[in-house]
Amino acid sequence: MPKQREDCLFCQIAREGAYVHKAKGFVAINDINPQAPVHVLVIPEGHVDTFRAVGEFDAKESKRMLEFVAETAEKVGLTDYRVLVNVGPTAGQTVFHLHWHILGGGNDASEVPSAVATAEAER
Ligand code: AMP
Ligand code: ZN
């Protein structure tokens, strides 16, 4: 697992947060600014800046991370949902610690955006 960074918000949240799901190496939290009826973030405890560096996780950790995304969705009661990663600022990434958005909970797809743009990114 990549190392933590002292100055990173999501590293800190991975150490001490209000989790909707947690397992060894991974946590899931509610997004502070939800874009869908259910909007959860999956955060690995180890720090990599973006999805581009996903290769810094070993094969077992990467598999576990994907399983943890699926487990989290199930745990928060979703069977239908979107999984999304913003990679780089022009794609809407605002927090530079890899995280997976899980979006769902609406009655139809129109309530679940295909992209997540935060207020900061829209400005
Ligand atoms: P992204 O724009 O893909 O980098 O996603 C960052 C996400 O983190 C946004 O959806 C924010 O609303 C969310 N976020 C930022 N700070 C916090 C926080 N302290 N707790 C929970 N979610 C946060
Ligand atoms: Zn971090």
Instruction: Give the tens place of pLDDT for each residue, 58-102.
Output: 999 999 999 999 999 999 999 999 999 999 999 999 999 999 999
- Indicate which atom in ligand 1 lies nearest the CA of residue 120: 2
Q: Which residues line ligand 1 (CB under 6 A)?
A: 29, 31-33, 41, 86, 92-95, 116, 118, 121
Q: Which two tokens stand for residue 68?
A: 């943890």
Q: What is the residue-averaged pLDDT of the chain?
A: 94
Residue to probe by mutation, ligand 1, list 16, 27, 51, 95, most atoms within 8 Å of CB: 95
* Residues identified as active-site: 99
Q: Which helix (H) or strand (E) segment is 9 a member of?
A: helix 9-15
In the predicted model, is pLDDT for residue 29 greater than 60? Answer: yes
Q: Which two tokens stand for residue 95?
A: 């927090």
Q: Report the separation in Å between the CA atom of 32 and the middle of ligand 1, taken as the mean of its atom positions.
A: 6
Q: Is 121 helix (H, G, I), strand (E, B) or coil?
A: helix
In this prediction, residues 45-70 reach a mean pLDDT of 98
Q: Report the separation in Å between the CA atom of 108 and the middle of ligand 2, taken as the mean of its atom positions.
A: 34
Structure confidence at residue 35 as a pLDDT band (50, 70, 90): very high
Tell me the whole-structure pTM to 2 decimals: 0.95
For residue 1, what are the CA distances in angstroms to 4, 46, 47, 54, 64? 9, 6, 8, 11, 11
State the amino acid at position 38 in one-letter form. Answer: V
Residues near ion ligand 2 (CB < 5 Å) are 5, 8, 10-11, 47, 97
Q: Report the separation in Å between the CA atom of 40 and the middle of ligand 1, taken as the mean of its atom positions.
A: 10
- Alpha-carbon distance 62 to 40, whole Å? 19
Question: What is the predicted pLDDT for the residue at 119?
Answer: 54
Alpha helices in 17-118 (DSSP H): 59-75
